[in-house]
Structure 1
Amino acid sequence: MASEPTLSTFVSAIDKVPGLKDELNSSGLFTVMAPSNDAFTKYFTAHAKYKKIDDIPVKELTQMVKYHILKWMLFQGNFIKPSSDPTINVDIYKYETRAVASYYDAAAKKGVYYPSKMIQVYTPRFFSYYGVTSQDYTDVYGTGSAVNAQTQMNVMSSSVVQKDIASGNGVIHVIDRVLELVNNIAQELENNAEYEDYNRIMKRRFLSYTYNQAGTRAQGNNGDVNGDGLVDSLFNRTYTTDANLDNENPLSGTKSLSLTGFIPSKTAFKNYYETRLMPNFYGIEDSIPTHTLQLLYKGHLASTMDWPSKIDKGQSVSELGDKITLARSDIKGIKMTSNGILYTLNKVIEPKSFTTVPGPSFFSPQYWYLAEALIRTNLLGLLSSGDAKFTLLAPTNAAFAARGIYWIEKPIAGAPGFFRKPNGLETPVAISELTTLLGNHIIMNTSLSISDMNSPVEKFYPTQNGTFISIVNGKISGTERDSLVSVVNPNVSQSNGFFQGINKIIYYPGTLYEQINGATSDPNAALQTNPQYRKFKELMVASGINVADFANTASTTLPLAPITASTQNRKFTLFVPSNEAITAAQNAGKLPKTGAVTPNTTLTDAIRLQLYNYVSSFFATDTQIFTDGKTTGTFPSRKVLTATPLTYYPLTVSYNGTTLQVTSRAGEVATVDKTQPALYPQNKFAKDGVIHVINNAFTSQF
């Protein structure tokens, strides 16, 4: 380089960096992006502080000069075509320099470790592969920057004006601008007053420090990061909003990764903070939930480098998976950082989870549990979809607590989470249980206003977990028909439906088997559970049906298949004969007597088989029938009629305008009585179907 008169200023800069001249004359291989004298003239003209090389402090000059020196020897052809295979290494555009980037975090009073600084080299292959236009380049790097069509190489904001000057142990490319070390996105947020409030909250809530022993030792006696004359320990900084935010060279596997920050200006963020965040949380910043802030901050980041034309085309997607929609008027400024592009915006980007049905839970302290549970169960993505309508029946924190479910931030053992506390012992609530539970509160493909819910006509709605709920006169019920749920925060309208705050958990039902098997056996017991199923349960037990799918396990001579086979996700309607109907049939000698009060005689395998088939005959298969009469017709039961071809005893369901009727194959007629819900509760929801009580035992099917 010393023989190139147009590089004399850069050569003089190298001479002032201790040991660098000898290093470059060693046996190592280097690529130098050497600014021309004209480049330095432009630099000093634009710089307010430095007007010549001697004005630049040696420490700062060292980093500046080393930022222009790459490891390895790379000619133009190596940059333009990193591999002879066009499918390999098309993503290479970042190259490691000799500059290091230790940094002092003044607020934390910690030195921060970084590997070597990277620079970006742009070639036609880069522009083509990433869909970057020449206008994009000018928009990001400013007026006067342009893609060099002749050398086909740009280095950050500079253009390569002379390429491939070979030397003994390296190659020189002359550039038309001095490269200035740029911050990464995290550093830029920290050092620019425009982002002061945004960054303060982000660091306070989402930043952690990890001691870097190797980095601390490697710096040796040069590790005085804060300039106090002492060698500093170095730390890595990690933001939970994005692990790569403070990473000089993020990678996805072996592929270089760049980010995009869409950061609101000071004014835009202040307005959002004062009008949207603080009023909903008593004016206390510490009361803003972490999950609310995490979604907000992730919604302002993309894990790809999105140049302006990509934004114009509506192709930018946040780390939450939300499409980012911006007009050019929303963009106040653009800056390239060492790990991605940073846009300063005139507005705050709200994530879709705030504007869709889950949104109110993130801005109300009384729905904190629900918001956290939606995130942990991954149901937030479903409810944030703009492609479907939903009604979210949103239980309050008190509703969760009434069911014995609590959030514990610092449990005795393990991570924060949802727990039960039986006898004072903390027992984690499984995510699978939470998922199932919340699914019972999500009405699919329907947006219900409070006026819809106040209808005097009972209606049945499918939920996300495959069961149903009932709504009539503003009251909601699930499997626990005697525990009605009320709306306490009605009609919060969102972009894809309604958020209806409720005062109780709608508990997820058990299976048909669990509902029947849970019936209290003793009619004189003080506490009765599902007493209307007692006699049917007796028949079931007497037949030897005593496992979850109503399978017979009492006799090895009866290899019978399960009746319901819940693992196959099939649905059934079970018409249970009332206690009175079964007792009358037993007294008439048409059914064997069962139970503790009227014990059955010893049953043979043949009688058990009859009972098994008899119980099977009350299951209408692959249908869920409700008392609204919307589903009628003839349905196969689970009792086999003929083996070849395989057919089943039919159940015919009809509706006369007020009452559901069921007819057996022999013509016996039963009604589903809705007039006495305490004695004969109908529409009892189960995981695999629905249960009704009928007034006929259909003894012809025994």
Structure 2
Amino acid sequence: MKKKIHYYLLVLPLLAFFASCNKDVFDEYYARPEGLEDPIYQQLEARGNFKNLTALIGKAGYKDILSKSGYWTMMAPNDEAFTKFFQEKGYADVSKVDSITAAKIVRYALIYNAFRTEQLSDYQSAAGWVVDNAFRRRTAFYDGFQKKTVNGVPMVVVASNRNNRAASGAPYYVSGDNNNKYISYFEKEYFAAQSLNASDYTFFFPNSTYTDFNVLGGTIKQANIIAENGIIQEVSQVSLPLVSLDQYLEGNSNYSLFNDLLNKNLVNYIFNQPATTTYNNFTGKSDRVYVKVFDAALPFSPNNESYLKQADNDGQNDAYTMFVPDNASLQEFVDKVLLKNYPSLDKLPKYVFEDLFKAHMVINAVWPSKIGSFSNALDEDLRFDMNTNVKDAKALSNGFFYGTNKVQKSNLFYSVYTSAYLDPNFTLATRLFNDGSSYREIISNINQRFTLFLPSDTVLRGLGYDYDVSRSEWRYTSPINSAVITGASARLRLLRVLYNCIVSTPNGELDDLSGSGVIRTGDADIAGEYIKWKNNKVYGAGNEVLGNAANVVGFEDQQNGRTYYIDNLIEFSEESPGVDLKNLATPVGSEFSHFYNYLKNSSIYNATGDKIEGVDLGTAYTFVVPNNAAIVKAVKAGVLPGNVTTGVPNFTPPTLGEKDLVADFLRYHILVTKTVSDDGLLGGQFETLRKDSKGEKTYVGVLSDTGVLTFIDAAKKTSNFIPAQSNNLADRTLIHLVDNYLLYTE
């Protein structure tokens, strides 16, 4: 009630004032202020050099709109511009221009809001003006509903006005957004701020001259003509609305193969009720309306004119870019690469098409002189020479289009990853490479060389691995006892197997497998396990346990390395490293026997499973095993129990103190969390299994180089590995034989 009382207290005196005024006073109070400039239409009419434009404004039904209040910028082509336009389009004069074309010219010349030329290069962000950060503005023109025949079916279609992000729940179409087209201009302040030059303009408009402020192919003749309802910029060119990237592809037969593949595999026409209601109300017709929706895996929708819409005006300062190979270039790529192992394009997995188009799409405006600053949607550098590979350059309504004479040489199609990716015999490996494991990113890195040992689907299924599509989970059935594990556990098991199949080989270390050797798997940063090869057979620690090997049955060279096809898995071991050490020590005369005999009789050893206290399955270790002579030397030095005169070991020390001495000796010869070899990959100070009297970690130094592996203890004494009896495989472990023992001193 209080609000109402205050309202009337304010309004009643005002009403009394108006009642006391005569009509002349009222008219004078609300009269149009003197000195106010005429509206846009009247300004154009009065100037005398816009006769063709004013005629089209009338024909388009915009005379009344542009004669009233409003807030526009009009890129107004003068009569000289229309003379050229009529000649180019075959019009005798303005009277021959139909109303639809007139509306296109007029609406595309109208920019929302009034801008002086010095403001057009500034971006209207949500946080305020960003100086010299814009080269486009939204116009009054939009395509709206179109009648099309899709797969032989006539329908009413409207373009997406958002980039489809189905996973995040973002819409592909927002009712009420007309998908207005943008017009681009090229202004010196923006160019200076972005470190662009005249060639960034003439690359798109080779028949025009850069003048420090160009509007598409023309220039501003007279700037900032102030009107009551906006600002007029007189321009030297008539501009019909530019097409979108999608429309340009549809209308240019040079790129028909690219367009067909895109539309057949990554486009859907989805019925939309709000769009249908709008269309029915506007036309009085009963057609259903379908939105042309591009696959959510793509970085953007080529028919979306609204850019990202992360902010309302973000289309002012950026746009999309597409590099599109012509038919001949793409057909050659299809024949030689895509269909090398597939019988036809319709048999290719959908993800191949997604990656192919992502390789040619950039979510930013790629200026010709700045191509090196951008990456495609696969996060690859753009591998095009703008001078020799780009044959067609267009600044379109929603982005830049570059027609090329080559396909982007994407990592995915020219790396060892490709051997699995583009072959239907390796879908299980490809699925795991692609599921977020990061393996795809590793082995498709075209700038690093790898060797890939690739098991087929038949091999994987034969050894118990498979993927249950209905449950979206991995499954492993043990060939030994038929035990089944599923889900994350099965996936992690196969991840470990396949990581042992990836080897960083920067110098082609595995190009010849006819000899023998040992090498670490994984990439240069994340270590895998060590494997061996001999006479075209490959072994993991598990293969030695199982008594088998992976035979190489073929190979394929790719740009970043070689793929070997194998008939078995490179298996990891599932037994304790103590088992492997026992097997090394068992033969008569083994140089590992003294060390092992101390171990098996120590307090840190469990005969059940040959387990060593502190040594866990699945963790990296390095065993530094002194040979028998070194153990005798340690006994004589009183480091180990035994006869200090003869050096004969006492493997079963009688006292508790001696048992602790043995346990600490053994622990100091086991490096934890690191597996080192004579390959130069790792060196430095490494933690051991032993703790000092205060419970602190102890360390051993490691020097590693090709063919050299030296261990340095706390007493600065060195022990060198014996190559012929070292690099023995165990679970994530190497067991080395050395010529001296390691001594820890506090």
TM-score range, shorter chain: 0.7 to 0.9
CA shift, 1:683, in A, is 1.6
Equivalent-residue separation in structure 1 for 2:454 and 2:65 (angstroms): 67
Counterpart of 1:354, as a letter, is F
Equivalent-residue separation in structure 2 for 1:628 and 1:340 (angstroms): 51
CA shift, 1:136, in A, is 2.9
Equivalent-residue separation in structure 2 for 1:88 and 1:633 (angstroms): 51
Residues 481-520 of structure 1 aligned to structure 2 (within 5 Å): 481=544, 482-490=547-555, 492-508=556-572
Q: Equivalent residue of 2:409, what SS?
A: coil
Higher Cα radius of gyration? 2
Equivalent-residue separation in structure 2 for 1:537 and 1:142 (angstroms): 83
CA shift, 1:502, in A, is 1.8
CA shift, 1:686, in A, is 2.9
Instruction: Give RMSD over aligned pairs.
Output: 5.1
Task: Provide the residue aligned with 2:622 in structure 1.
Answer: 572
Distance of aligned partners of 1:248 and 1:203 in 2 relative to their CA distance in 1, 3 Å threshold? same
Equivalent-residue separation in structure 2 for 1:184 and 1:340 (angstroms): 7
Residues 115-130 of structure 1 aligned to structure 2 (within 5 Å): 115-130=179-194
TM-score (norm 2): 0.70
Selected match of 1:70 from 103, 111, 118: 111
Counterpart of 1:178, as a letter, is V
Task: Provide the residue aligned with 1:616 in structure 2.
Answer: 667
Q: Equivalent residue of 1:326, what SS?
A: coil
Task: Provide the residue aligned with 2:645 in structure 1.
Answer: none
Equivalent-residue separation in structure 2 for 1:316 and 1:370 (angstroms): 31
Task: Provide the residue aligned with 1:471 in structure 2.
Answer: 533
Native 8 Å contact 1:315 1:324 kept in 2? no
Task: Provide the residue aligned with 1:388 in structure 2.
Answer: 448
Task: Provide the residue aligned with 1:199 in structure 2.
Answer: 259
Counterpart of 2:69, as a letter, is S
Is 1:683 the equivalent of 2:683? no
Selected match of 1:319 from 377, 380, 397: 377
Equivalent-residue separation in structure 1 for 2:390 and 2:627 (angstroms): 69
Task: Provide the residue aligned with 2:240 in structure 1.
Answer: 180
Counterpart of 2:391, as a letter, is K
CA shift, 1:565, in A, is 12
Counterpart of 1:273, as a letter, is V
Q: Equivalent residue of 1:106, what SS?
A: strand
Selected match of 1:138 from 194, 199, 202: 202
Equivalent-residue separation in structure 2 for 1:275 and 1:233 (angstroms): 40
Residues 303-314 of structure 1 aligned to structure 2 (within 5 Å): 303-311=363-371
Counterpart of 2:246, as a letter, is A
Counterpart of 1:111, as a letter, is V
Counterpart of 2:53, as a letter, is F
Q: Equivalent residue of 2:416, what SS?
A: coil
Native 8 Å contact 2:683 2:702 kept in 1? no
Distance of aligned partners of 1:544 and 1:276 in 2 relative to their CA distance in 1, 3 Å threshold? closer
Native 8 Å contact 2:500 2:570 kept in 1? yes
Deviations 1:402-434 (CA, angstroms, capped at 9, x unpaired): 3433345xx3345xx755589999736787666
Task: Provide the residue aligned with 2:333 in structure 1.
Answer: 272
CA shift, 1:55, in A, is 4.0
Deviations 1:224-282 (CA, angstroms, capped at 9, x unpaired): 9xxxx545424252233332422213238444432222211122222332343334312
Native 8 Å contact 1:637 1:648 kept in 2? yes
Equivalent-residue separation in structure 1 for 2:181 and 2:685 (angstroms): 74
Native 8 Å contact 1:453 1:473 kept in 2? yes
Equivalent-residue separation in structure 1 for 2:134 and 2:684 (angstroms): 66
Runs of 5+ in structure 2 lacking a partner? 1-40, 162-178, 583-595, 632-640, 642-648
Distance of aligned partners of 1:518 and 1:184 in 2 relative to their CA distance in 1, 3 Å threshold? farther
Task: Provide the residue aligned with 2:689 in structure 1.
Answer: 638
Equivalent-residue separation in structure 2 for 1:399 and 1:534 (angstroms): 40
Task: Provide the residue aligned with 2:150 in structure 1.
Answer: 107
Residues 654-693 of structure 1 aligned to structure 2 (within 5 Å): 683-687=728-732, 689-691=733-735
Task: Provide the residue aligned with 1:44 in structure 2.
Answer: 86
Distance of aligned partners of 1:538 and 1:361 in 2 relative to their CA distance in 1, 3 Å threshold? farther
Equivalent-residue separation in structure 1 for 2:510 and 2:327 (angstroms): 40
Deviations 1:7-64 (CA, angstroms, capped at 9, x unpaired): 121112121224x33333443311111111222221121114x544454443443233
Task: Provide the residue aligned with 1:163 in structure 2.
Answer: 223
Task: Provide the residue aligned with 2:291 in structure 1.
Answer: 235
Is 1:9 the equivalent of 2:60? no
Q: Equivalent residue of 2:730, what SS?
A: strand
CA shift, 1:303, in A, is 2.8
Distance of aligned partners of 1:234 and 1:634 in 2 relative to their CA distance in 1, 3 Å threshold? closer
Q: Equivalent residue of 1:500, what SS?
A: strand
Q: Which moved more, 1:617-626 or 1:435-444?
A: 617-626
CA shift, 1:498, in A, is 1.8
Selected match of 1:189 from 228, 243, 249: 249
TM-score (norm 1): 0.74
Distance of aligned partners of 1:405 and 1:88 in 2 relative to their CA distance in 1, 3 Å threshold? farther
Equivalent-residue separation in structure 2 for 1:119 and 1:78 (angstroms): 15
Distance of aligned partners of 1:382 and 1:622 in 2 relative to their CA distance in 1, 3 Å threshold? closer
Q: Equivalent residue of 1:73, what SS?
A: coil
Task: Provide the residue aligned with 1:397 in structure 2.
Answer: 457
Distance of aligned partners of 1:77 and 1:425 in 2 relative to their CA distance in 1, 3 Å threshold? same
CA shift, 1:591, in A, is 4.0
Task: Provide the residue aligned with 2:16 in structure 1.
Answer: none
Counterpart of 2:109, as a letter, is H
Native 8 Å contact 2:383 2:409 kept in 1? no
Native 8 Å contact 1:164 1:171 kept in 2? yes
Is 1:251 the equivalent of 2:308? yes
Q: Equivalent residue of 1:162, what SS?
A: strand
Selected match of 2:439 from 376, 379, 382: 379
Amino-acid identity (%): 19
Equivalent-residue separation in structure 2 for 1:64 and 1:633 (angstroms): 73
Distance of aligned partners of 1:549 and 1:188 in 2 relative to their CA distance in 1, 3 Å threshold? farther
Equivalent-residue separation in structure 2 for 1:631 and 1:259 (angstroms): 45
Task: Provide the residue aligned with 1:263 in structure 2.
Answer: 324
CA shift, 1:72, in A, is 1.0
Residues 521-670 of structure 1 aligned to structure 2 (within 5 Å): 550-551=613-614, 571-573=621-623, 590-591=651-652, 613=664, 616-620=667-671, 624=675, 638-640=689-691
Deviations 1:649-690 (CA, angstroms, capped at 9, x unpaired): 99999xxx9xx9999x9x9x9x99999xxxxx9722333x32
Native 8 Å contact 2:684 2:701 kept in 1? no
Q: Which moved more, 1:208-217 or 1:355-364?
A: 208-217
CA shift, 1:69, in A, is 0.8
Distance of aligned partners of 1:393 and 1:16 in 2 relative to their CA distance in 1, 3 Å threshold? same
Distance of aligned partners of 1:618 and 1:247 in 2 relative to their CA distance in 1, 3 Å threshold? same
CA shift, 1:333, in A, is 1.7
CA shift, 1:476, in A, is 1.0
CA shift, 1:65, in A, is 1.7
Native 8 Å contact 1:412 1:426 kept in 2? no
Equivalent-residue separation in structure 2 for 1:190 and 1:95 (angstroms): 24
Residues 142-153 of structure 1 aligned to structure 2 (within 5 Å): 142-143=206-207, 145-149=208-212, 153=213
CA shift, 1:87, in A, is 9.3
Native 8 Å contact 2:108 2:241 kept in 1? yes
Deviations 1:493-522 (CA, angstroms, capped at 9, x unpaired): 233322222223324556xx96559999xx
Equivalent-residue separation in structure 1 for 2:492 and 2:685 (angstroms): 36
Native 8 Å contact 2:300 2:363 kept in 1? no
Native 8 Å contact 1:212 1:236 kept in 2? no
Counterpart of 1:58, as a letter, is S
Deviations 1:60-82 (CA, angstroms, capped at 9, x unpaired): 43233211111111112211455
Q: Equivalent residue of 1:460, what SS?
A: strand
